[in-house]
Structure 1
Amino acid sequence: MIFRQLLEVETCTYSYLLGDEVSKEAILIDSVKKMTDQYIQLLNELDLTLKIVVDTHLHADHITGTGLLSKETGCTIYQGIPARSSGVSKTFQDNDLISAGEINLSAIYTPGHTDDSYCFLLNKVTPYLLFTGDTLLIRGTGRTDFQNGSSRQQYNSIFKKLLTLPESTKVFPGHDYNGMTMSTLKEERLFNPRLQVADCSEYEELMSSLKLTRPRFMDQAIPANLHCGQ
């Protein structure tokens, strides 16, 4: 498998390219519109055909590249239910597989940051690879104070779904603001301060105490992303 992690520096957003070395088909997770030319250049350099673009959720901090990439490459736009964006080609739900060649990503519905948040698990490699979007960050978790967010749902998504996976599972988040690129579920269980809670009520109290600023590009990103960034 071909695997690349790409960083958009202005919003500290990670995108992930997964390519099948035999079929040359690829999946791109959480693209950023302003990086479209870089994605296409990399695809050409690696002799890959982009088959699927997918977002972990409707982003509020950057404009997705799904629409432009579909226009430029002919790839299929996937979005998880509840899908609200016009221009989506195909929807998926919990436990569905998203496949390109021999790459099979299992969709895990993880509401909490937003009500349409998903994580993607690649479990045909050892250790597993888990793409967590904004649900689980490195030493943090996604905010839950807008876009139908819910601290209770996020607690359940993390503790009752993600943390039931093998502790060796590698964690690749949608963002990092401190220079970290990856983690493991074991590390996050041990060292993530937001996971050091006794129960759901304590997690809800912790999240409600956060004093978070409004995302810088929210007014531009959400309307654009409701049309796949177009």
Structure 2
Amino acid sequence: MLFRQLFDEATWTYTYLIADPETNEAILVDPVAEQVERDLRILQELGLTLRYCLETHIHADHITGSGKLREITGCQSIVPANAKAACADRFIQDGEQVQMGSVHIEAIATLGHTDSHMAYLINGTHVLTGDSLFIRGCGRTDFQSGDSGAMFDSVTERLFTLPDDTLVYPGHDYKGETVSTIGEEKQWNPRFAGHNRDSFIDLMSNLKLPNPKKIMEAVPANERCGKVAVSA
């Protein structure tokens, strides 16, 4: 399996490129509109054909590159079930799988950050956690139908039950960290270690974070696969 972690500095967003070296088929997870040229360059350099763009959720902090990439490459756009994105080619359900040569991707419903969020387990060894679980943190739950109780349940019941050596690759990082493990996060993540469901809900309700700078633009655009509305 070819696995690359790519970074958008402006929004602290990780995009993941995963490919099967035998078929040269590739998938991009959470692509960023401003990085489409970079992603296309890497695909060309590595001789890869983009089959899918896969979203963990409808993002509020950046505009997805999936629409542009679909126009250019003919790839399919896949979003989580119940996401408000009628433009998508496919809606992936909890437990559903995407097979691409030797690459096996399983969707794991991890609600809480939004009401239609998926993590993706790659070949049983790498889990792309989106905005549900960060390295020593987690996504916020105070907008987009967020639910702190659902977040706690998703992380502790769906992610922390994976093997401890499963590699954790988040959707964002704000401190320069790139990878963790399930075992590390169970022991050292301050949002979860030492907390029960009630104390986690209380913690999350008192974060008082500012809204993402691009939320008013990003959410409606991402519901249209990255197409920004043109003002009259």
TM-score by length of structure 2 reads 0.96
Which range is displaced more, 136-145 or 78-87?
Answer: 78-87
- Distance in 2 (CA, whole Å) between partners of 1:197 and 1:113 is 21
Residues 151-209 of structure 1: per-residue CA shift (max 9 Å, x gap): 00001100011000001110000000000001011111111100123421111111111
Q: Which residue of 1 aligns with 2:209?
A: 212
Aligned length: 227
Instruction: Note the aligned Cα RMSD (angstroms).
Output: 0.9
Q: How does 1:1-230 map to 2 (within 5 A)?
A: 1-124=1-124, 128-230=125-227
- Distance in 2 (CA, whole Å) between partners of 1:83 and 1:28 is 18
List gaps (5 residues or longer) in structure 1: none
The answer to whether the 8 A contact 2:103-2:123 is kept is no
Residue aligned with 1:193, SS:
coil
TM-score by length of structure 1 reads 0.97
The answer to whether the 8 A contact 1:197-1:203 is kept is no
Shift of 1:104: 1.2
The answer to whether the 8 A contact 1:52-1:100 is kept is no
Shift of 1:123: 3.1
- Distance in 1 (CA, whole Å) between partners of 2:102 and 2:22 is 8
| Runs of 4+ displaced beyond 6 Å | none
List gaps (5 residues or longer) in structure 2: 228-232
